[in-house]
Structure 1
Amino acid sequence: MGFVWRMARFVRACFHNVTLWAASVVILCALVIAFLIQSVVLDLEQHRSAVEDRVLWNISQSEVEMTTLQLAIANSMKTPDAARLTQLRRAFDIFYARVSTVEEGTGFADLRKDPQFALGLAQARKYVATAVRLIDSPNEDLIASLPALEIMTEEVRRYVRQMSLDTVRNRTVFADGIRAQLVTTLLRLGGFAVLLIAALLLSTLFVLRLSRSADQRAQRIGETNSRIEEILSRTNRAVITVDNQGAVLDFNLAAEGMFGLPRGEVLGRALGQVPLDPGIKRAIGRLLSGSPDPDETGEALAESLKYATRADGSQFPVEVSMSVIESPAGRSVLVWVTDITPRLRREQQLNEALERAVAGETAKARMLNVMSHEVRTPLNGLIGALQVLDDTILTARQRKIVGTMNTSSEILLNHVNSVLEISQIDAGNLSSAHEPFDLKEVAQQVVENQIHAARSRENVLVIDDMSGMTMQFLGDAKRIRQILINLVSNANKFTQAGEIRIRLRTGEVGDEAGLARIEVCDTGMGIAEENLERIFEDFVTIDTSYERRTEGTGLGLGLCRRLAAMMDGTLTVESEIGQGSVFRLTLPLVPLGPESASLGAVPSPEGPAAPQVLPRSLKVLLAEDNPINMEILSDMLTSDGHRVYCARDGQEAVERAQARAFDVILMDISMPRQNGVEATKLIREGDGPCKQVPILAVTAHAQQSEIDKFLRAGMTATIVKPVSRARLRQALASPDILSVPGPKDRGALVDRDTLTDLIDALGPERVTRLVTEVDAAVARFADALAGRATERAVADGLSEEAHKLAGAVALVGAAAVREHLVALEHLLAGADGGEAELHAHDPALVATWQATKAAITETLGQADQLRAMRA
């Protein structure tokens, strides 16, 4: 017991004394190494004496036993009696057993791998296999075969002798290897011991150094604790620490001011005796109890504390953080409390600022809507009226004034369109198209568009094709043309008697493959370096002098860069004062092969593409509630060879679609009993023969959100009214297109393309009759509008009549009248306009219709004259 007690005291002293511990470790490692060396030596010695000696003895005995066998054979030949033969058989059996032992014993395995030894063993085995038959034969036969047996034995003796010599040689080599391995092992163990001792010495020195560092660290920790106490005393967050007995250990100055409790009256007192916030006290008590409930963790309990109570009973919003500290002294709880009243006040201010910003954006959106409807619509009407006026007989001065007004109106309309396009791009409501086009043709169109402006400033405008490759691509030709026209127009403004060059480059395979670069280079006045990025900002114009040699709002380049980014491209500029500028448009365009060249034609911006005609007759279901619209559309379809089946509302359209199969369905949207959207859903959800048939919406609703709603309902495409024969043919030729655009001149007085198509389809006489019917319908609607009642039912009826009449007038090309009726429809349906706005449309509607009717009559007269001349 005394020894055990002393050892325990020694181990305890080692744990507390680093030096003693290091010395003990070194001694222990030395003893272990010595024990290992001794074990290896003893093991090798035992292996040598037990195994190797037994192998050598067995091999040497085989030669002795071979000699004994030869002697027994000789004695038997001299005296061939039974006793001699018995000795002979015993000597052979001993030799046989020795050979079997060498052949099968595990200790002889490495010897059997020696080729010479294996040869001798094979001869010995062959000998015993032959001789055993003679030995086991009767005495008479054995006596007769003794001479042959003697010869055989003498022949095999030399092999047995060779086996002994091979064994000695092999064992000598093996012993040398064992000794070399032993020496190597001992050297390695010695080196390892030296390294281990050196490492232990270094570890001891390191531990000693750590011991000194620990003292210094303890001193620094004390200083850190002092600084932490200073920080906690000055922080604006309340810090409260409670030990495992529930006594308050820490209560900083911030907690004193936050809860209104003197620090001296709180420190050291039990938590239950401190008038602290009850919620915080309950949470601390639950954490000290060590409850296993997952809902009573520090995070969960702190999350539940939203308000705290001061000593005077007032409450304030808080953010609490609680954690449990485990230490040898027991469990304690650390609580951080933050008064978030200032933060909530700032958040409220930010929310108010956000609301003001949202209100500003809403006002901006409303302003843009007003520009879209209240500014662009009269501008389109003004431009159309000027074009009609330009067709009349005017004096030279009047024609000059009309030209000036037309140019100014178009410039103003372009500015408005630029603002609207920028807003649409920023809102993500504008996307690029992916259609085949010819880049060279687009560049040529830009040249044709700008050539007269360039000549007016004595500039040369040329196209430079630097690629020498195909120019057939898949992309948005319209947006590319818009960017190039803007860039060329800007270059022309800042260049006088110079050159403007459009360079076309395409990326090669392995070197920017799929990239197309279009550069607009000029020899103009150039741009200062500090303005190279500013010119792409909105409403920034570099020419701010009073002379204003150039015009513009500063929106063009900003819009161009947005359009380039929308197509995943870039627009950059390089320029020097007096050296001209280079605007570089880089776009990732997909090149098309030669087989796609026929698809690359780009429609000219000067007019629509040629109408397409279907190669076969179609069965068309036409759902339309307006008799005039139904008659005109039916005549258009019938004249093209189609078979038309009519339905006067959505319910009838569903019944017809479920009864028989059609090739295509033309579906109006606003119809009685059941609108076009509901009818389309029923057709798609049913099991009728028209479940998968293309359904084309024929409507005056042109907003993108409404078109998206039609597509979600199951419609294939949308045709915006008024519908001309060309657009109808195009829609029927490609029923899966997303949308067929409306007329080109929506703001003009008369849509001449629609009117001309109608005259070609029905003839002047029938169109005249239709105009008369529309004239009566407009008069009836104007009278109803002038004397309308304020009841909602009457307003709803007028809204429906306005919608029907808008479709009717659109079919005869009355574009401006249709705009009035659409505006009235929204005012009547939404009741968002006052009586003054409604009555303002009344005389304007009648006056616009009278002017439109006169223009239609004039067009009909010209058609009659043309027909008479052809006759």
Structure 2
Amino acid sequence: ANWRERLSRLDCPALVMVNASPSDLPDDPPLPHGGELLSKPLSRHALTEAIRRTRQATLPALPEVAADTATPPEDASRPWHILCVDDTESNRLLLKELILGAGSGVEVSLAASGEEALALARHSTFDLVLMDIRMQGMDGVETTRELRRLGGHWRRLPIIAVTAHVQDNQRRDLLDNGLDGMLEKPIDTAQLSQLMQHHLGIGVDSDVAEPTASPRAIREEDAELAEVDLALGTRLAGGREALAHQLLDQLIASLDETEANIRDATARGDDEALLNTIHALNGACRYCGVPRLALLVETLETRLRSRGGEAVEPLLPDLYAAMEGLRARGTYHASSTTKATANATSSDKDT
């Protein structure tokens, strides 16, 4: 009777460890707030799984929720403040542009690493965090744990994983590690809008909240994929043509460093460093209209994750060729722009 009273006052699930065999435990344990009865002695694995099951059962689902159920900022005069954490510049830029489509009532802060996100969190108030998972240094899971340890509103603030290559077991692990949901790259603006509507009561501008196309939609059997497809890039950028050009320019500007990092990791046989670089390149390609490079990098990352570095070596010459083709195209565009500007200036002088 004493323990029943204690359990009723807990107001949370309980794991009750009992000196009894499993067959002696009651089928209907007195656990008013959920949990489990566990038979002692208890192995570490059994305890871990019991904690996982109990926490999973109490994690909030993400159903369709009316906009007026979102909790407004404590200061109604301030806008919603969203933190985007990603170590790839183009990903941060796209997220910011898409979120700002929600209107003037939103502010966006950007962090290029987990360490930078923690520094911002200690001095700023946020209402939602979009968290890249695979980052150099402190990854997204570790960053989420550290944010939760800050206490206060950080214990309940929505933190959403933004990542690619998420399998069912990885999805469960992310939820178990304190994340509240997932957006899969490339970002589907309709899903982003729905998520913001659920947590904040606001959505992305309907003019851009259309499902984005994916580079993987291009048929692998096509004989020759285009190096640049600006129409595809515009769809990937949420219908923003100017942003598509900007993301393409950033990708091209990053290729020299990316190739150097790939060659260095390959020479050292460092599969982890190679995966980090390929993953970052894959993320950047997902928002650019570069079908040939996007398909190659997607194939490389999938093969690297499943079969290791030796399996990707035959594809590296094609990767380098695709990167060189993009670099040459970028140089050509820059040269053409310079010539056009020079001709216009000469024409003005003649006039």
TM-score, normalised by the number of residues in structure 2 = 0.55
Q: Does 1:624 align with 2:96?
A: no
CA contact (8 A) 1:623 1:666 kept: yes
Q: Specify the SS of the correspondent of 1:644.
A: strand
Cα deviation, residue 829, structure 1: 6.3
Does the Cα contact within 8 Å between 1:806 and 1:822 map onto a contact in 2?
yes
Mark the CA change 1:776 to 1:651 in structure 2 (over 3 Å): closer, same or farther: closer
Please state how far the C-alpha of 1:699 moved relative to its aligned partner.
0.8
Distance 1:618 1:720, change over 3 A: same
How many Å separate the matches in 2 of 1:784 and 1:757? 26
Q: Is the 8 A contact 2:81 2:127 kept in 1?
A: yes
Contact preservation (8 Å) 1:724, 1:753: no
Alignment partner, residue 532 of structure 1: none
Bigger RCO (CA 8 Å, 6+ sep)? 2
Quick check: 1:623–1:649 contact (8 Å CA) kept in 2?
A: yes
Alignment map for 1:390-409 (pairs within 5 Å): none
How high is the sequence identity, in percent, across the aligned residues?
23
- Tell me: CA distance 1:633–1:685, structure 2 relative to 1, closer, same or farther (3 Å): same
Query: Which AA in structure 2 matches 1:746?
Result: R
CA deviation map 1:319-362 (0-9, x unaligned): xxxxxxxxxxxxxxxxxxxxxxxxxxxxxxxxxxxxxxxxxxxx
Alpha-carbon displacement from aligned partner over 1:789-837 (angstroms, at most 9, x marks no partner)? 43244x43332121111111112254663443244345556772426x4
- How far the C-alpha of 1:690 sits from its partner, in A, is 2.2
d(CA) in 1 for partners of 2:306, 2:233? 30
Aligned mates of 2:256, 2:112 — CA distance in 1? 24
Q: Determine if contact 1:751/1:813 at 8 Å carries over to the other structure.
A: yes
Aligned to 1:755, which of 201, 210, 234? 234
Q: What's 1:801 paired with? A: 277
Give the counterpart of 2:148 among 668, 671, 684. 684
Q: Distance in 1 between matches of 2:230 and 2:293?
A: 11
The 5 Å alignment of 1:720-799 reads: 720-735=184-199, 743=213, 746-748=216-218, 755-756=234-235, 758=237, 760-761=239-240, 763-764=241-242, 766-778=243-255, 780-782=257-259, 785=262, 789-793=266-270, 795-799=271-275
Conserved? CA contact 1:651–1:679, under 8 Å: yes
Relative distance call for 1:773 and 1:643 in structure 2 (3 A) is same
Counterpart contact for 2:141–2:174, Cα < 8 Å: yes
Q: CA RMSD in A?
A: 4.0
1:469-504 CA deviation, whole Å, 9 max, x = no partner? xxxxxxxxxxxxxxxxxxxxxxxxxxxxxxxxxxxx
Query: What SS class does the counterpart of residue 746 from structure 1 fall into?
Result: helix
Show the counterpart of 1:716: 180
- From the superposition, tell whether residues 685 and 773 of structure 1 become closer, same or farther in structure 2 (CA, over 3 Å): closer
Question: What SS class does the counterpart of residue 108 from structure 2 fall into?
Answer: strand
Report how far residue 715 of structure 1 moved: 1.1
- CA offsets, 1:368-419, max 9 Å, x none? xxxxxxxxxxxxxxxxxxxxxxxxxxxxxxxxxxxxxxxxxxxxxxxxxxxx
Residues 818 and 731 of structure 1: CA distance in aligned 2, closer, same or farther (over 3 Å): farther
Query: What do residues 139-180 of structure 1 show as CA deviations (whole Å, max 9, x unaligned)?
Result: xxxxxxxxxxxxxxxxxxxxxxxxxxxxxxxxxxxxxxxxxx
Report the counterpart of residue 843 of structure 1 in structure 2. 318
2:112 to 622, 631, 648: 648
How many angstroms apart in 2 are the aligned matches of 1:744 and 1:796? 26
Instruction: Give the corresponding residue for 1:666.
Output: 130
Q: Letter of the aligned partner of 2:315 in structure 1?
A: A
**How much has 1:721 moved relative to structure 2?**
0.6
Cα 1:780–1:661 shift into 2, 3 Å: closer
- Tell me which amino acid in the other structure corresponds to 1:747: A
2:293 to 817, 827, 852: 817
Secondary structure at the aligned position of 1:654 is classed as helix
Q: Secondary structure at the match of 1:834?
A: helix
Q: Is the 8 A contact 1:623 1:648 kept in 2?
A: yes
Query: How many residue pairs get matched?
Result: 237
Secondary structure at the aligned position of 1:690 is classed as helix
Q: Partner letter of residue 178 of structure 2?
A: G
Shift of 1:692: 0.6
Matched, 1:704 2:168: yes
TM-aligned CA deviation for residue 704 of structure 1? 1.8
- Following superposition, the deviation at residue 628 of structure 1 comes to 1.9
Q: Is the 8 A contact 2:83 2:130 kept in 1?
A: yes
Q: CA deviation at 1:643?
A: 0.2
| 1:743 CA drift (Å) | 5.0
Instruction: Give, in whole Å, the separation in 2 of the partners of 1:790 and 1:783.
Output: 11
1:125-524 map, 5 Å:
none
Classify the secondary structure of the residue corresponding to 1:631. Answer: helix
Equivalent pair of 1:660/1:690 in contact (CA under 8 Å) = no
CA apart distance, 1:757? 5.8
Distance 1:759 1:731 in 2: 16
Question: For residues 648-695 of structure 1, what are the alpha-carbon distances to aligned partners after superposition, in whole Å with 9 as ceiling and x for unaligned?
Answer: 211332343344331110001112331111111222344132221111
Alignment of structure 1 residues 458-607 onto 2, 5 Å: none
Q: Does 2:144 match 1:675?
A: no
Partner SS, residue 645 of structure 1: strand
Question: Quick one: distance in 2 between partners of 1:788 and 1:621?
Answer: 31
Instruction: Supply the AA of the counterpart residue of 2:113.
Output: D
Return the alpha-carbon distance in structure 2 between the equivalents of residues 716 and 813 of structure 1.
31
- The change in CA–CA distance for 1:817 and 1:743 in structure 2 (over 3 A counts) is same
Mapped contact 1:805–1:821 kept (Cα < 8 A): yes
1:758–1:812 CA contact under 8 A, matched in 2: yes
**1:832 aligned partner:** 308
Matching residue within 97, 116, 122 for 1:635: 97
Amino acid paired to 1:632: L
Relative to structure 1, is the Cα distance of residues 742 and 847 closer, same or farther in structure 2, using a 3 angstrom cutoff? same
| Superposed displacement of residue 844, structure 1 | 5.2
Give me the whole-angstrom Cα distance separating, in 1, the residues matched to 2:174 and 2:121: 18
Note closer, same or farther for the CA distance 1:817–1:652 as it changes in structure 2 (3 Å cut): same
How far did residue 769 of structure 1 move? 3.5
Structure with a larger share of its residues in helix? 1
Distance 1:702 1:820, change over 3 A: farther
TM normalised by structure 1 equals 0.24
Q: Paired residue for 2:36?
A: none
How far the C-alpha of 1:708 sits from its partner, in A, is 1.5
Q: Quick one: distance in 2 between partners of 1:824 and 1:667?
A: 24
User: How far off its partner does 1:625 sit?
Assistant: 1.2
Q: Highest CA radius of gyration, 1 or 2?
A: 1
Against the structure 1 CA distance between its residues 785 and 673, is the aligned structure 2 distance closer, same or farther, given a 3 Å change threshold?
closer
1:623 CA displacement? 0.9
Consecutive unaligned residues of structure 1, counting only runs of 5 or more, are 1-434, 437-598, 600-613, 858-871
Amino acid at match of 1:756: R
Amino acid of the structure 2 residue aligned with 1:755: T
| 1:128 corresponding residue in structure 2 | none
